[in-house]
Structure 1
Amino acid sequence: MASPPAVSDHHTARSAALIAGGGGVAAALVVLGLIGNPVVAGAFLATGLVVAGTLVAIRRLFPATRGKPAEPDWSVARALASASPDAVAITDRAGRLICANDRYEELFAGFPTPPGLPIDDNGVDRLSGAGRAAWRDGTAQVERLLARGTPLAAFVERAGQAEDLLVWRFRGAEGLDMAASVEGLIVGPTGDRLGSAGIMTVLIGPEGRIRSANRVFRARAMGQDDGAASGRDFARFLITDDHGQVRFEREGLNGVPLRVLQIPFLEGDDAPMLVALLDEEANVATPAIGGNATAHVRSLVSLMPFGMALVDRDGRFIQMNDAFARAAQVDPHAPPLYPGDLLVREDKGVVADAIRRFANGATHSTDLAVRLKDHPDEPVALSIAGARGLGEAAVLLSLKDNGEETRLKREVAQATKMQAVGQLAGGVAHDFNNILTAIIGHCDLMLMRHTPGDSDYDDIQQIRANSNRAASLTRQLLAFSRQQTLRPQVLQLPDVISEVSNLLKRLLGETVTLTVKHGRSLGAVRADPGQLEQVVVNLAVNARDAMMAKGGGGILSIQTKGVSAAQVRHMGNDILPIADYVALEIADTGTGIPPEILPKIFEPFFTTKEVGKGTGLGLSTVYGIVKQSGGYIFADNNKGGAGTTFTIFLPVHTATAAPEPVRPPVVVKEKASDLWGTGTILLVEDEDMVRAIAERALVRQGYTVLTAEHGEAALEVLARNDRPDLLISDVMMPIMDGPTMVRKARERYPDLPILFMSGYAEETLRKSIDLDNVQFLAKPFSVQQLAEAARTVLASK
């Protein structure tokens, strides 16, 4: 069908052609009447006809595009929505309903526009919030909605080429559907068949009130099978005698004892509970409806949505439902003979004893943590209860797969251990830095008394070199414990990879192929570029060693890509917070990491390399740098065991304000210059050996040095003496730490310059120390570095 604007343009073009042609005829007649020359008149007529033809041709070749744009064709979207089993609707930015499928019309009795749907009281508010969240984050969902008695879960997703549409999907909520299904089974014919076998069933809400009960229960508990039990307190129908036996309150203490079986078929504190009541004696008359008891019991077991199995008095399986088979990871059509056949050897005896005890009449129930032989590292929960009145079945088994819970506990335990080890590593590194400061300082003082060629000069140089090597190890420990000094910058991750690519090619050798791929529209990250280069180099070297160990070379792939908050939400990672990230993937084709070693690879001093070929600090340093940069790192073996992939997630930096530049350290390199100075310096250090070497170094440079072993002693020295020119202090000290002492000292001398010495990270200390005009000197330091630092601070006054 043609659109109205095209018809209008066609008429306009035809009118213009008629006017042009008519104008040409009129001009020809006028010329012929005035001058009487038919040749000139014919020329005017031909010109008019040519103009008219040209206008028609132009309009046909170039049709006008004015007018309203054509409406989108939603037929494809409607066809796709109709093919979905879910109720689907699409709305635009203005909140208008674009289209919906038949399931949507059936569910909501028409085409109401989301979120204004006929749902429970607070459902509209929750659905509105999900819509706002989907516009913001891309996706959102709402659990446990109730629409006209139907339990639902809603999923909202932003869509469209311009991301100007919302797709609303509604499907049955699993837990509510299951509860509703069980409720319907109890009050329907299935409940009557169970009643004919002497099984009374009740569905109880989390508050202890009855939601539904079958006819036999209503007849026994209320005296009439058509009584209204819904909403009544379940406990009020039962009494307990002195021996702990349960009876109906209506029948009194002379009534038939009952066996009460609680069946938690849904997880959660607010989930309903299915209760089955059986007579302890077999001569209780129940309303007979006909049928075989054993067949009904098996039907009930097969209908249960949780793992359940029946075992006879000899300990053999009679029946297991599909949920039990899935949890046990066995074929339901070819089940094992005994429950012990599912378990590891150590757990078989315990389970067999429990089954034997309950088969012989033990009451109550028990829960056991057992290990399946196919997955011995992931315990599962096995519930065992005695069963009476169920025909040949004597024991009821219920199996719950808690592998996910076990995995989460293992990850939390690993994270806690890593944090504790990090704190220990940081403390060890700090104390070790004090020792190295004293060793390096004494070496420097001895070198001042020796010249190259002396017998002791080379030995002193060797001691000093080994001390510097030990200092690099402490820096790695500080990196792991996230206490090293970082110089973060706002940068693009591909730029860092480009800077280090040439170095990687030399490190990997000719047998390893390096491939680099960058994603589009990557956000900026805030990190220390030098430390990120160290991360890439460490991971690349480990990958090279793994590929060499496999025999020959391989491929090292480095890839960067953006990961949106919506993608993180779909990943379902319990550790990674929902935010926008830039991901760095480093994958190799090496030997992979054994599963039993994978949780330990980031621990300090853990290595699988030969003795002397690794310190075990490479990956722990990587872990510390990534965590201190606010990121996350994960290691996974590739499918098929072909290598390992390390994935680093760094949060996208959002510049809310210009970051305060981090001042460089006082000393960046040693200089062979005249470091002589004058003035009085107050030196505060709790370590005697560090205080002694620092005092000697400063005195040799011409300074007058006052010393104190902690903050309180330093304040006493200040009170007894005149104002010093410089205060040099350790940060962490007993009795009174350095920052507290400096605040009190500046109450008396506000402009007193301060030089802090510490083995911890400067950036961390600056965040915790809110003081102006403060400089830092990292431990361990040499005599010359201390002298340069003191002179630089005094010169900047």
Structure 2
Amino acid sequence: MDRPRTELNHRILVIDDNAAIHEDFRKILCSALVHRPALDAAEEALFGDQPATQEQVCFEIDSAFQGREGLDKVRLAMDEGRPYAMAFVDVRMPPGWDGIETIGHLWRQYPELQIVICTAYSDFSWDEIVRRLGKSDSMVILKKPFDNVEVLQLAHALTKKWFLAQQARYQFDDLDRLVGVRTRELQEANERLQKEIGERRLVEGALRFSEERFSKAFQASPIPMAIERMADQVYVDVNDAFLKMTSLPRAEIVGQEPKQFQIHVDPTVPGSLLARLKETGSLRNQECTLHTKTGEKRSALVSAEAFDLAEEPHVLLIMQDITERLSLESQLRQAQKMEAVGQLAAGVAHDFNNILTIIQGHASLLLASASLGRHMAESIKQVSTAADRAAALTRQLLAFSRKQVMQPKALDLNDLIRQLTKMLQRLIGEHITLDCELSAEPLRVFADYGCMEQVLVNLAVNARDAMPNGGRLTIRSGALVIDAQSTARHPEAAPGRVAGVSVTDTGCGMSSDVLGRIFEPFFTTKDVGKGTGLGLATVYGILRQHDGWIEVTSQEGQGSAFTFYVPLTEKPSEAAPIRTTSTADRGSNERILVVEDEKPLRELICGALRSRGYQVSAAQDGGEALNVWQTEKGQFDLLLTDMVMPNGISGGRLATRLRSDQPALQVIYISGYCMELADRELLQGDHCAFLAKPFDVHRLAALVRERLDRRNHAGGPRSEREETVASAEP
């Protein structure tokens, strides 16, 4: 509530369209403090003798020349917290509101404003004014022409009246407040008295209600909770969620000290949870471990609060099972680690493939030399063999890093497993029994036949090595639907229909530490020289490249189960590829454009092809290849290009550009790995083939001959040089 003004309000608003009237009011109400006998005599006649030292007042006058202007000034004064005490309002103020209408607006804005209506005898009558404005004790009439003394008296009287009205309003409000305060005090005293009278009954009822409410919340909560007595560590009560998490029946935990179930903040220090609680009085989100009745190790966040129950110290335990969350975080970290290692492996494999191609190529050329001595030939064969072994390792690295080139087709995994059964049995040995439990329905997937074959072989070899004394290897297959809950358990899983194949052994199993690293490249538990550590890493990479994933379960001494999943396809199955080779690799002056950014490798390829009767032009990148193409007017039969090259034009883009000029152009892509083939589109046509680095010159020559023969059989146009050579033959 606003505090009352402690001094008189001498603010007066004059609303009149005549400037001279405003000046007159100022002269009357703001004149200098001089002796005025006539005024003093009038005051003495009206109010009696006044003290000689009566304070003379100079009023604060504001002017408005129309009603709307006056209303604006009243609003502004109220907003500033300095309202007018009274207003002199002329009745006639053309062309705007008249005085009566103006007063109506003023009172609607500020009902406490004291009004003096300035009017002539010919203006509105009192009855008409009352009819329009209603009766009010805040309004008086001043007839024109008015007397200075009368104006001054009205100013003093009405400002004093406004002040007293404000004081009275505050006092009434304050009285009402005091009455309310006193009433509330009486009510509060009465309530306290009533509370004191029935205190025991109310306390007992509240206690019963509180216990019932806590018990319901405790038992119904999906969060595991328990109450433990601190003196003897006996569990007084637990809720259903706690029993579910621990796999313990209520009878084995409530009222007893379950030796088989303890919560450990530090597993090496028994009772460490209660010890920390006694030190701090409470715990918040403390990570701990516990073992369920089945022996399963669980991780949880525990919060604890000490309290008294029946005058004994107890502790309330609130737990959040984070086992699944930690597992997902571990899987995510593993996936990120595998991705990083894969990128590193891909880069290393790419560089090594270029080097190995040069080594293998020159070794092949040297071995073909007739002047080579026997001992030198044997040494070069050893070099070639070592290069082949290194090439096999780089292929496995590329498989792990998901950079190897595939030629996927629709195939039935069940058919593939049946075709591999005899070979797998020979591979694992007679001391291991092989069982196949395949689904009746076909499992059609869009995959590379050789890659899927490698996955099964690697898993079978891994199982064989885990059973040196014999055992059982079981391969099961089936179709299933992966839902959102399943994808939440494995970060690489994708929802939809998939084919699932499990390879289960009865071998030695793995520890949790080993289980977390089995897909890392070069990680192996075998003795030195008995494994590269790339078998399972290759499986992992192949499956990821097929939009699949693999899951593993294992316990030491009980064997392992590897289950991989690949999306099913609606495409009909195709026959397994039949690989053919050609030994007739000589050329007939066909023209070949070789594009390779590695100079030693480019020179090796060009030399090998020229020695076999081909006309070869070379370029170090896509831009130079386009220039050569324009210079030779596109008279080439085959393009042999690296996939990844500098200066912005890849092998795929180059081939597309050149084939738009000559659709019959044959293309051989070469690469240590090929990022552009991830969309699996460049190898879908009959006009192209892929040769993975490293390769020897014999494989290169055979593939070149095969592509050119395919072009000739298809009736493609030949170059001008080839036409000339052909016409000269007898």
TM-score (normalizing by structure 2): 0.58
Measure, in 1, the Cα distance between the counterparts of 2:679 and 2:242: 58
Contact 2:227 2:314 in 1 (8 A): yes
Contact 2:449 2:576 in 1 (8 A): no
2:551 counterpart of 1:634: yes
Measure, in 2, the Cα distance between the counterparts of 1:724 and 1:571: 54
Aligned to 1:344: 266
Measure, in 1, the Cα distance between the counterparts of 2:201 and 2:597: 86
Contact 1:680 1:703 in 2 (8 A): yes
Measure, in 1, the Cα distance between the counterparts of 2:244 and 2:694: 60
Q: Which amino acid in 2 is paired with 1:689?
A: P
2:521 counterpart of 1:622: no
Aligned to 2:15: none
1:554 equivalent among 457, 468, 471: 471
Contact 1:678 1:702 in 2 (8 A): yes
Measure, in 2, the Cα distance between the counterparts of 1:784 and 1:488: 26
2:383 counterpart of 1:457: no
Deviations 1:464-503 (A, max 9, x none): 1221122222222222233334444444444333322222
Measure, in 1, the Cα distance between the counterparts of 2:662 and 2:407: 31
Measure, in 1, the Cα distance between the counterparts of 2:213 and 2:577: 77
Aligned to 1:272: none
Using CA pairs under 8 Å that are at least 6 residues apart, name the structure with larger relative contact order, 1 or 2.
Answer: 2
Contact 1:328 1:342 in 2 (8 A): no
2:658 counterpart of 1:740: no
2:504 counterpart of 1:591: no
Aligned to 2:288: 370
Deviation at 1:453, TM superposition (A): 4.7
**1:572-721 alignment runs, 5 A limit:** 574=490, 576-637=493-554, 641-655=557-571, 669=581, 671=583, 673=584, 675-678=586-589, 680-719=591-630
Q: Which amino acid in 2 is paired with 1:511?
A: H
Instruction: Give RMSD over aligned pairs.
Output: 4.5
Aligned to 1:264: none
Deviation at 1:629, TM superposition (A): 4.0
Deviation at 1:577, TM superposition (A): 4.2
Deviation at 1:590, TM superposition (A): 1.8
Contact 1:682 1:728 in 2 (8 A): yes
Contact 2:585 2:612 in 1 (8 A): no
Aligned to 1:788: 702
Aligned to 1:767: 680
2:639 equivalent among 721, 727, 734: 727
Contact 2:228 2:234 in 1 (8 A): yes
Cα distance change on mapping 1:598 and 1:663 into 2, 3 Å = closer
Measure, in 1, the Cα distance between the counterparts of 2:206 and 2:661: 97
Deviations 1:511-532 (A, max 9, x none): 3233333333344444444443
Aligned to 2:393: 473
Alignment size in residue pairs: 502
Aligned to 1:424: 344
Aligned to 1:288: 203
Question: Equivalent residue of 1:636, what SS?
Answer: strand
Cα distance change on mapping 1:451 and 1:535 into 2, 3 Å = farther
1:303 equivalent among 219, 242, 258: 219
Question: Equivalent residue of 1:597, what SS?
Answer: helix
Question: Equivalent residue of 1:565, what SS?
Answer: strand
Cα distance change on mapping 1:540 and 1:718 into 2, 3 Å = closer
Cα distance change on mapping 1:332 and 1:414 into 2, 3 Å = farther
Measure, in 2, the Cα distance between the counterparts of 1:570 and 1:742: 43
Aligned to 1:756: 669
Contact 1:522 1:582 in 2 (8 A): no
Q: Which is higher, the Rg of structure 1 or of structure 2?
A: 2
Q: Which amino acid in 2 is paired with 1:597?
A: V
Q: Which amino acid in 2 is paired with 1:603?
A: E
Cα distance change on mapping 1:321 and 1:765 into 2, 3 Å = closer
Deviation at 1:295, TM superposition (A): 6.5
**1:178-327 alignment runs, 5 A limit:** 287-290=202-205, 299=215, 302-303=218-219, 305=221, 306-309=223-226, 319-322=236-239, 323-324=241-242, 327=245
Cα distance change on mapping 1:566 and 1:381 into 2, 3 Å = closer
Gaps of 5+ in 1: 1-250, 256-283
Measure, in 1, the Cα distance between the counterparts of 2:321 and 2:489: 19
Deviations 1:106-125 (A, max 9, x none): xxxxxxxxxxxxxxxxxxxx
Deviates more, 1:388-397 or 1:535-544: 388-397
Deviation at 1:710, TM superposition (A): 2.2
Cα distance change on mapping 1:512 and 1:348 into 2, 3 Å = closer
Gaps of 5+ in 2: 1-183, 189-198, 717-730
Aligned to 1:156: none
Deviation at 1:684, TM superposition (A): 1.9
Question: Equivalent residue of 2:527, what SS?
Answer: coil
Deviation at 1:572, TM superposition (A): 8.7
Measure, in 2, the Cα distance between the counterparts of 1:429 and 1:329: 50
Question: Equivalent residue of 1:380, what SS?
Answer: strand
Measure, in 2, the Cα distance between the counterparts of 1:502 and 1:480: 27
Aligned to 1:270: none
Q: Which amino acid in 1 is paired with 2:693?
A: K
Contact 1:583 1:648 in 2 (8 A): yes
Q: Which amino acid in 2 is paired with 1:779?
A: K
Q: Which amino acid in 1 is paired with 2:694?
A: P
Cα distance change on mapping 1:342 and 1:300 into 2, 3 Å = farther
Contact 1:678 1:704 in 2 (8 A): yes
Cα distance change on mapping 1:308 and 1:554 into 2, 3 Å = closer
Cα distance change on mapping 1:366 and 1:511 into 2, 3 Å = closer
Cα distance change on mapping 1:743 and 1:432 into 2, 3 Å = same
Question: Equivalent residue of 1:739, what SS?
Answer: helix
Deviation at 1:459, TM superposition (A): 0.6
Deviation at 1:460, TM superposition (A): 0.7
Question: Equivalent residue of 1:459, what SS?
Answer: helix
Contact 2:231 2:313 in 1 (8 A): no
Contact 1:554 1:590 in 2 (8 A): yes
Contact 2:553 2:562 in 1 (8 A): yes
Measure, in 2, the Cα distance between the counterparts of 1:559 and 1:746: 47
Contact 1:347 1:370 in 2 (8 A): no
Counting aligned pairs with the same residue, the percent is: 35
Measure, in 1, the Cα distance between the counterparts of 2:484 and 2:219: 36
Q: Which amino acid in 1 is paired with 2:461?
A: V
Contact 1:308 1:397 in 2 (8 A): yes
Measure, in 2, the Cα distance between the counterparts of 1:755 and 1:308: 68
Contact 1:315 1:352 in 2 (8 A): no
TM-score (normalizing by structure 1): 0.54
Contact 1:358 1:395 in 2 (8 A): no
Measure, in 2, the Cα distance between the counterparts of 1:723 and 1:578: 49
**1:17-96 alignment runs, 5 A limit:** none
Cα distance change on mapping 1:391 and 1:296 into 2, 3 Å = farther
Measure, in 2, the Cα distance between the counterparts of 1:605 and 1:570: 30
Aligned to 1:334: 256
